[in-house]
Amino acid sequence: MTDATLNTMEKPRNQWWDVWDQFKTHKGAVAGLVFLIFITLFVTIGPIIWDVDPGKLNIRNKNLRPIYMALFDSEAKTAWANPMGTDNLGRDIMANIMQGGRISLAVGWTAMILSVFLGTLIGVLAGYFKRLDGLLMRFTDLVLALPLLPLLLVMMLLFRDPLRAAFGPENGIFILIVVGIGITSWMQTARIVRGDVMALKEREFVLAARSIGTPSRRMITRHLLPNVLSPILVSATLGLATAIITESALSFLGLGFPSDFPTWGKILFDSVDRMTQFPERVLWPGLAISLTVLSVNYIGDGLRDALDPRIRGQ
- Residues forming contacts to other proteins in the complex (CB under 8 A) are 55, 57, 59, 88-89, 91, 157, 161-162, 164-165, 169, 252-255, 258-260, 270, 273-274, 277
Helix, strand, or coil here: 212?
coil
Please report, as a single letter, which amino acid is at residue 6: L
Give 176 or 255: the residue with its C-beta nearer to other proteins: 255
Give 89 or 144: the residue with its C-beta nearer to other proteins: 89
Q: Which residues contact 39 (CB under 8 A, 6 or more apart)?
A: 101, 105, 288, 291, 292, 295
30-39: burial string, b at 16+ Cβ within 10 Å, e else: eebbebbeeb
Nearest approach in angstroms of CB 272 to other proteins is 9
Give 9 or 157: the residue with its C-beta nearer to other proteins: 157
Nearest approach in angstroms of CB 37 to other proteins is 33
Nearest approach in angstroms of CB 248 to other proteins is 14
Closest to 278 measured CA to CA, from 82, 29, 38, 15? 82
Give 162 or 226: the residue with its C-beta nearer to other proteins: 162
Nearest approach in angstroms of CB 75 to other proteins is 15
Give 81 or 166: the residue with its C-beta nearer to other proteins: 166
Contact between 141 and 188 (Cβ < 8 Å):
no
Give 142 or 153: the residue with its C-beta nearer to other proteins: 153
Nearest approach in angstroms of CB 57 to other proteins is 5
Give 91 or 304: the residue with its C-beta nearer to other proteins: 91
Nearest approach in angstroms of CB 152 to other proteins is 12
As a whole number of angstroms, the distance between CA 26 and CA 22 comes to: 7
Give 82 or 227: the residue with its C-beta nearer to other proteins: 82
Helix, strand, or coil here: 272?
helix
Nearest approach in angstroms of CB 211 to other proteins is 60
Alpha helices in the chain (DSSP H): 2-10, 15-25, 27-44, 46-49, 69-72, 93-128, 130-144, 148-167, 169-182, 187-201, 204-211, 216-218, 225-252, 264-271, 279-307
The DSSP result for 214-265, as a single string, is --HHHIIIIIIHHHHHHHHHHHHHHHHHHHHHHHHHHHHTTSSS-TTS--HH
Nearest approach in angstroms of CB 258 to other proteins is 4
Nearest approach in angstroms of CB 63 to other proteins is 9
Contact between 230 and 220 (Cβ < 8 Å):
no
Closest to 271 measured CA to CA, from 47, 89, 4, 8? 89
Give 83 or 169: the residue with its C-beta nearer to other proteins: 169
As a whole number of angstroms, the distance between CA 193 and CA 199 comes to: 10
Contact between 57 and 90 (Cβ < 8 Å):
yes
